[in-house]
Amino acid sequence: MEALKEIDANETYENDLPTDVALDCKAERIYYGDFLAVRDSHVPIKRNQITGFIGPSGCGKSTVIKSINRMNDLIRGFRFVGDIRFHGVNIYAPNIDPVSVRRNIGMVFQQPNPFSMSIFDNVAFGLRLNRYKGNMQEKVEKALRSAALWKEVKDKLKNNGLSLSGGQQQRLCIARAIATEPRVLLMDEPCSALDPIATRQIEELMVKLKEQFTVAIVTHNMQQAMRVADQTAFFAVDISRGGRTGYLVEMGPTKELFENPQEQLTKEYLQGEFS
Ligand SMILES: Nc1ncnc2c1ncn2[C@@H]1O[C@H](COP(=O)(O)OP(=O)(O)OP(=O)(O)O)[C@@H](O)[C@H]1O
């Protein structure tokens, strides 16, 4: 059997995407078994910007975002039909190594989920997995600084990651995700388990992180999308064919989408007429 191909984001490559697009997600259909969860959703994710995914519960925001780094591969019955182009390749091509996809496209989840190990080891985890041979101390410090956590933990790197507060745990998870220097960082409702102060800290952090990374975030909170997202994609649920299938209604610069939505459905959602 032919070895799976690694995506090396340091390689020069042929790319047919516009230069400001880091990753182009064309989700034609996404299934869980026979259930069509998402259809017809084309979301170009712009480089060094924050792309927000908003929409009512069950419209497929998480399904799409998790498809972007092949996180859903692990779910039985999951099937993606379409094309996600990153760094000159379709990440769903059969010869692409999904581990290398996740190395380039990191993810942070809803619930902070540090491993039960020291703060240092949490951050070093992915680097060790990738057999990083350089200065581990330096890399861990860099990631913790980028995640705005260094000052709070520098004297207790040996403490268990689970001993931190919820907001600190989420920043630790961000440090863990960025330690391996992915190009894209996906965040699936990263603040939903946090209090308003910790939420603000993560939002400020996201805005800083976009200088180094391309960020995509799922959020239930429209104010949050307005505060942090440069582009926003609005999804809804189509029940017209008897199912409940999510789809992209419209997408655009956040300010334009919120102030002047093109679609009636977007207007109604933004006015709180359905949730
Ligand atoms: N592992 C799974 N197996 C089967 N169906 C699933 C699975 N995960 C999600 N679904 C279904 O796919 C649809 C989209 O779910 P998804 O979680 O992507 O929506 P969402 O917009 O992120 O929702 P929420 O805002 O409530 O988190 C829903 O109908 C959901 O029940």
What ipTM was reported for this prediction? 0.98
**Minimum CA distance residue for ligand 1 atom 31:** 58
Domain ranges, ordered by start, for the chain: 21-111+190-270
Is residue 59 in contact with ligand 1, taking CB distance under 6 Å? yes
Q: Which two tokens stand for residue 28?
A: 């034609």
C-alpha of residue 9 to centroid of ligand 1, in Å: 30
- Please state which of the ranges 86-95, 138-147, 205-214 shows the lowest mean pLDDT: 86-95
C-alpha of residue 136 to centroid of ligand 1, in Å: 38
Is residue 37 in contact with ligand 1, taking CB distance under 6 Å? yes
Whole-model pTM above 0.90? yes
Residues 132-155 have a mean pLDDT of 95
**Minimum CA distance residue for ligand 1 atom 25:** 57
C-alpha of residue 60 to centroid of ligand 1, in Å: 6
Beta-ladder partners of 234: 54, 250
19-54 residue pLDDT tens: 899 999 999 999 999 999 999 999 999 999 999 999
With a pLDDT cut of 70, the percent of the chain lying above it is 97
C-alpha of residue 61 to centroid of ligand 1, in Å: 8
Ligand 1 atom, smallest distance to 244 CA: 29
Report the CATH superfamily, name and number, of domain 21-111+190-270: P-loop containing nucleotide triphosphate hydrolases (3.40.50.300)
pLDDT band of residue 242 (cuts 50, 70, 90) is confident
